[in-house]
Every structure is written in structure tokens, then in C-alpha cells.
Structure 1
């Protein structure tokens, strides 16, 4: 798998989102539970206050069709919130559903508020203060894309100012003061929202960096052995068992690596390891196969949904590429290297449920040692069978066959 680069965590200045759509989606999914909870709480309190403040309509307008119409509008806000709760839970794509519910709630809530302002213009200063609070809620407390929240807030502010100028009977100084306060509320809300959106993404980037360090080998960028045994291998075996897929293990060991260290130094040895790991990761499927640095110069490839023939094709390509591409140590010196491979393929549609991780790796390792004993720069392979699993591991090499390869 490819190592994530810092460019994937670059943030777009205007939208305050990751420039990489894949990274942004992963970020949104990481915060999905928090966003759902925040949206539910905000919708609950906002809809409750909307309905509760219906009594102010009665006090201001008396019982009549206008108060009833405003009550229907307030109730619509609550209905939108309730439908939003169900939509968030049932939506097949939760992120898009979350944004839709947030946007719908903001639009319905602001439209209803404009209706209230229209029929109660004599309280325009109180409405202006209420709108300032609502703008902060839209910017900061309702989880939505910032560019959408900003558009709804600015459109609402403009509509409110137009209604106030038309029906509010404001003096020029009052109109200017109100407009400046609304501009301040928008500016403060936007600055606060941009800061929160950036801080949340910076926090996510640091978390991913720490996760990367915990599961990756610092030198090669491959997965480390701890991640293999704690997470990767149990997950891949469980998935192969569930869907009855093939799962193949390819153990790769750099030939005569100690001699390279002794002859050229450990710095050159590190360069060889980095070169080999780059070849292994480049020639396997990103986000499907996994490359693990299992030991000093030993790598383990976990090939998902790959049978023996497919794995042998991959192993032979890797063997030939490594042999034909020396590691360049300086402008003129190339360090020729070869590698040996052990390939073990497991068909989990027929494999027994008692197959253990240790037995699989031991069998693949035994094939590698057979390849080393045969002269190196070669491949040994076999399919796993429950009958042969009960034999001693030392018997595995006797049951393997050569893949045509030159010994160098």
C-alpha cells in the first residue's frame, strides 16, 4: 500500500475542507458519530424553542389566522427536525444525509423566522438580536459544510435587512446600527467556524500521523509486525472465511543481505530495504493487498482474493523486477540484489475452521527457506490443505515445486 503523503492533508482555503476528496470523506466518517449527536441535540433544542415561542405570537398578534399560520410554520420546523432524525439513521450514505438534514433544517428554520419578522415588524430590534444568535448556531453548532452554512446565513441576513427596511419603520441610524450588528455576527460566526473546521482537520491529520507511525515501519513505510498480528491478519482471515475467498501469503527475503551490510555499510543496507519495499508496494494492489516488514530483511505480502496462480504471477514479476533493478547508492554505484520467495495459498472455501495464523506463517516461512536452500533468487509454493497441516513443518519443502527461475 502507498504511504499517505502530506499533500493529502492540504486544506482548501475557501471551503476549509481537505483538498483530497478521499481524505475529506474519511475525516467526515471519522467524526460521523459526533456530528450526528451534535445535529440531533441542536435540532431538538431549536425546534423546542421554536414551538415554545408560539405563545409570543399570540401575545403580540392575538388569536387569529396569522398566529395560527405562524404556529404551523413553527411546527414545520419541529417536523423537519423529527424527519431529519429518521433520515440520518436510515440514509445509506450517512455523510450526504447529514448535510441534507442540516441544510434543510437551516433553510426551514430561517424561512419560518422571516415569516415571523414579516408579521411582527414592530419588534424588529428584538428580531435582530434573535437572528444574531441564530447565525452563530448556523455557523458553529449545526454540523454542515461551511460553504453551505455561509450561503444560508448571508442570504438570511440580506432578506432580514430588506424586510426591516421595508416594514420596520427604522431611522437611518437604527438601520445602520442593526446592519452593522448583523455584519458583526456573520463575521464572528464565520471566523469561529473557519477556526473550528481547521482545528478539527488539523487534529485529524495529527491523529492519522500517529496512527501511521503506530502501524508502519519507519524505514520502509510498510506495515509493521505488530499491526500484522494485532489487526491485519485476523481481519483478512476473518474476511476470507466469511466470504470463502482465497488468501495468499508471500514471504520475501533479500538474498545475502548481511553481505551487503558488511561490504557497503548499514546506510546502503537501509537504501536497499527502501528500494525493495518500494518495488513490493508498487507492484501490489493499493488498498487491497498489504505489504509488511516482517523482520530485518524479510517482508510478508498478504494478497486478498488471490489464488495460487495469481500469486505466482505476482511473485515472479517481483523476483524478476528486483533482480533487474539494482539499488542506486550514489550517482554511479548500483547494488545488485535478488530475493527469494515462499508462496502459500489458502482456499477458505474448503479450509477448516481451525487454521491458525501461526501455522499459515510457519508454512509460508518453510517454503521461503526451501527457496533459499535451493540457491536463492527462486520461488517455492504450495496450496494449504488440512491434511498436510498436521505434518511437521519441516516436511513442507518436500511437497513443493520449483517455479522456473535462474539462480544467481
Structure 2
């Protein structure tokens, strides 16, 4: 199945939740996270290494404050646990199966273990509460800004750590009321600054991502009809679909659609009306095919190409006939209110990649589908010509079996016959 193509013109795709500062659309958020995965991994990897090294290095301060003994050993074990968590996290984020979920898990685990160990240090070294408060302020900024995690999770961990620290400080720190208030205000300031900075960064990254999607949308879509453009077909869409069909031994069908007598429409009504016809037909093609699975491409002028994934000849003929009938039965209404009757001709080429050889190429498929379209136009237009690809070789290369189906005057069922050889 093809991935959803995000549309910057759709507000629902890129709306940002003000509380979570994430895209409301889970699919858009996941695509954003995957887009920034390498940057996020690099940042997380650096932070894990940096924090674990400093946690271990500061073990000497435990010895300086407490001497060699059981408590210093307990704190050393806690610091080593931070380093072990970092090492396990570095290994886990290499897993390609669930990279985003693994990254969030590692980030959250590192934050929780790091803060829990720090609270243990504060508990056993209460005489240094002012220094610990300064250290916690730095750690809060790291949690909010430097560790790539979901903001709502980072905020929860930071607030919980701040509350735990204040309770320990009040219980064991022998602080005066003014000192306790000053320390609490300092931690509140650190949380506020970290949260504001994190919200700004999260929103800026998502605004940047939407801008990139704007450019991508313009680069792969036809500006008039909203269909994919020819460049995207050849550079990405068709090679990907052929490779997928060949790998999984699926059917792949190409449908070429050409609006009949389009030049006459332009000559009689003007190019603006011709543009309205193109938009109307393209809209029907996109509405009547499977979103995120099939692809509609404006191949050139009044010609459209449809790629129907995992669709055999019978299924493609059913789709093509529905499209042919819909175009014929739904005239275009232009800006002047005139009703423009329109028909279209179709060439349908189905390929069963479980039986065909590797000689099938993008160029040969398009050429064969275009030949079928040409036969449909020769047969009087407003009809469908179809074929199932075969690997029977001729002097010209691969051959296909032409089949003729009924035109607009026949019944609802597709009547087909194989032409005599």
C-alpha cells in the first residue's frame, strides 16, 4: 500500500495541537518524526553519551562528600545504572523496525533513570541543596530542549522531578522559609524557560516541515488539476510500483485516459473552459480511485494515467467503465454556467508479475497502454480497449493480447473477446 501523500492545502493534515505541540493528525506527526529521525537520533546519541560520562565522573564528588563507604557505593551503583541505561538506549535506537517508538522509549527511560538517580544523590547529600538546585536547573533545560522526546512526556518528567526535589529539600535540607521560596521560584523559572523554549522549537520544526511539504507538493503535483505530474511518475511513482509488484508477485494495472475531442472544446469555448474540463475530469478520476493506494497522473495535455496497485484485468475494467460512464454522465459546468458534455477513451493494460519475466520496463508498459488508447480512439472514442500483458516475444519485442470491450451503447457488463491472431 502506498503511503499517504500529505497535502499542505488540507488544514486537518497540518493542524498543531496547542497542548501537545504535535500535529493533530497522527499520520502527519509520524511522517514528521521519520523525516527528522536522523537528526533526532544524532542528538539523542550525543546526549546519552555526554550525560552518562558526567554522571560517572561526578562519582568522585560522592567520595569527597561522604568518604569511602556504603552510601558512596550505593550512589556509584545508581550512576552506573544511568550509564547502563544509556548503553542499552544506544543499542535500541539502532532497531529499524520501530525507530520512532524506540527513540521515545529510550529518551523517556534516560530521563526517568537520570532524574531518579539525581534524587537519590540529593537524599544522601542534603547539605548541598543549593548546589543541587543549580544542577537540577541545568538538567531541566536538557530534558526540555536537548533530549528529543515528546514534549508532553518531557514536561511530565520535569514537573515530577521538580516536585520530588522540593519535597526532599524541605524535608532534609533544613532550609529557611525564604531559602525554600527562593529555590522553588528558581526551579519554577527553569521549568517555565525550558517549556517556552521547547514549545518554540517544536513549533518551528513543524512549521519548517510544513514548508518542506509545500515545496514537495508543488514538485510532484500538476498545478492545474492536483494530479501527480509526469516527473513524479517517472522518478518515483512508477519505478516504486513496479518494484513492489515484482517483489511481492502482485498484479499492476495501468489505465490511460484521454478526453475526447478536447481541442474542439478549447476552440469552441476557450481555454478557461478547457481548464475547467480538465479539473472536473481529474477530480472524478481521483474521487473514484482508492486514496493512498492508486495514483492519478496528468501525463500530458488532456491525457491522464492511472496506476492501480494489486488490481487484475477484471478489477481494472470495472474501474475504467465506472470512470467512463461517470465522465459521460456528468458534464462540466464552466464559469459562464454552460454545460460541457465530455467523454473519454481508455486503454487498460494489466500485468501479472507472478508470471511475467524481468523484461517488463516502465517504457514498454506505457507504450503498450498508449497503443490500447490509440485503438480505443480509432474504434470511435468513448470506449475501452484492454489487454493482459504476456511474454510472448515477437520481432518487435514483448507482445500483448488485444481485447475489445463494449462502447457506450452496450450493457453494464463488460463484454470482451480476444482478437484472432
TM range (shorter): over 0.9
Could you tell me which residue of structure 2 aligns to residue 278 of structure 1?
283
CA distance in 2, matches of 1:289, 1:377: 23
1:25-36 matches, cutoff 5 A: 25-36=30-41
How many angstroms apart in 2 are the aligned matches of 1:376 and 1:210?
38
Alpha-carbon contact 2:6-2:28 (below 8 Å) kept: no
Alpha-carbon offset, residue 389 of structure 1? 6.0
Is 1:145 equivalent to 2:147 in the alignment? no
Runs of 5+ unmatched residues, structure 1: none
What's 1:404 paired with? 406
Structure with the higher helix share, 1 or 2: 1
The equivalent position to 1:101 in structure 2, one of 106, 123, 133, is 106
2:388 counterpart residue number: 383
> 2:22: which partner in 1?
17
Contact 1:342 1:371 in 2 (8 A): yes
- Deviations along 1:140-173, one digit per CA (max 9) or x if unpaired, are 0111100010011011111111111121122222
TM-score by length of 1: 0.95
The residue aligned with 1:65 is 70
2:94 pairs with one of 89, 92, 100: 89
Q: Which runs of 4+ in 1 moved over 3 A?
A: 388-393
Report the count of equivalent residues. Answer: 405
Q: Deviations over 1:341-397 (max 9, x none)?
A: 00111122222212222121111111101111111100001111222564489x97x
Match of 2:196 in 1: 191
Shift of 1:271: 1.1
Counterpart of 2:220 in structure 1 is: 215
Number of the residue aligned with 2:339 = 334
Q: Which residue, out of 47, 56, 65, partners 1:51?
A: 56
Partner secondary structure for residue 262 of structure 1: helix
Q: Could you tell me which residue of structure 1 aligns to residue 207 of structure 2?
A: 202
Local SS of the residue matching 1:222:
coil
Unaligned runs of at least 5 residues, structure 2: 411-421
Shift of 1:67: 0.7
Q: For residues 13 and 199 of structure 2, what CA distance do their matches in structure 1 show?
A: 19
| C-alpha contact (below 8 Å) 1:329/1:335 kept by paired residues | yes
Which has the larger share of strand?
2
Superposition pairs of residues 281-296 of structure 1, within 5 angstroms: 281-296=286-301
**Structure 2 match to 1:266:** 271
- In the alignment, the residues of structure 2 paired with residue 172 and residue 142 of structure 1 have an alpha-carbon distance, to the nearest angstrom, of 34
Moved more, 322-331 or 291-300: 322-331
Moved more, 9-18 or 91-100: 91-100
CA RMSD of aligned residues (A): 1.8
Taking the aligned partners of 1:400 and 1:115, their CA distance within structure 2 comes to 79
Deviation sequence 1:70-120 (CA, Å, 0-9, x none): 111111111111111222223732212211111111111101101111111
CA distance in 1, matches of 2:284, 2:76: 68
Are the aligned partners of 1:124 and 1:168 in contact in 2 as well (CA < 8 Å)? Answer: yes
TM-score in terms of structure 2 length:
0.92
Match of 1:322 in 2: 327
